[in-house]
């Protein structure tokens, strides 16, 4: 899967979790850019990402993510 393909899938996940069809995420997107992305919604997002890509994050990784770019790097490294 290319980064672009993964991003289009990830976009869908974000739109579904945050109930906002206008969301477009990129490498630099952080929690501050998306309304409702607080520390609690973060877990719902992570679980939805896991389901969508068929991967598992460990808790250390979950807490460490700083922006969507880092999340994407992690996703791509996991789906190999």
Partner 1 sequence: MALTSFLFLILLLCTAVMYYVLPCKVRFLAILLANGFFLFKCNSILENAIWLAEAALVYAAAYRTSVSESEKESRILTFGTVIVLAAALILMKESAFFGIKDFGVAPIGISYYTLSWITYVLGAYWKTGEVQKNPFKFLAFAGFFPILASGPIVKYEDFGKEICDGVKFSYDNIKNGAARIAWGFMKKLVIADRIALFVNTVYDNPYRYPGLFIWVANAFFIIQLYTDFSGCIDIALGAGEMFGFKLPENFNLPFLSQTLEEFWRRWHITLGGWLRDYVLYPILKSGPWQKITAFTKNKFGKKYGKKIPTWLGLMISWFLVGFWHGGGYNYIFGVGILFGIIIILGEALSSVFDKVNKALRINTEAFSWKVFRVLRTWLFFGTGLSFFRAGSLLVGFRNLKLSVTVFNPWIFFTGELWEMGVDRTEFSIFVFYMAVVIIAGILRAVTGKSIRELLKEQNIVFRWIIYAGLIYSVLIYGCYGSGFSSAAFIYQGF
47 touching partner 1, by CB under 8 A: yes
Whole-number minimum distance, CB 2 to partner 1, in Å?
Answer: 26
Q: For residue 10, with 0-12 CB atoms within 10 Å meaning exposed, 13-18 middle and 19 or more buried, which class applies?
A: buried
28 touching partner 1, by CB under 8 A: no
Among 4, 5, 21, 40, binds partner 1 (CB under 8 A): 40
Which listed range, 1-9, 27-35, 38-46, lies at the site for partner 1 (CB under 8 A)? 38-46
Whether residue 41 contacts residue 16, with contact meaning beta carbons closer than 8 Å, is answered with no
Whole-number minimum distance, CB 64 to partner 1, in Å?
Answer: 6
Whether residue 72 contacts residue 27, with contact meaning beta carbons closer than 8 Å, is answered with yes
20 touching partner 1, by CB under 8 A: no
75: tokens are 């996703």
């Amino acid at each position: 899967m290319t980064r672009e393909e993964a991003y289009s899938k990830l976009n869908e996940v974000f739109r579904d979790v945050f109930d906002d069809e206008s969301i477009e995420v990129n490498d630099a997107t952080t929690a501050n850019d998306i309304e409702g992305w607080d520390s609690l919604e973060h877990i719902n997002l992570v679980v939805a990402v896991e389901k969508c890509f068929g991967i598992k994050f460990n808790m250390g990784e979950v807490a460490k993510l700083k922006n969507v770019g880092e999340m994407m790097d992690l996703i791509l490294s996991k789906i190999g």
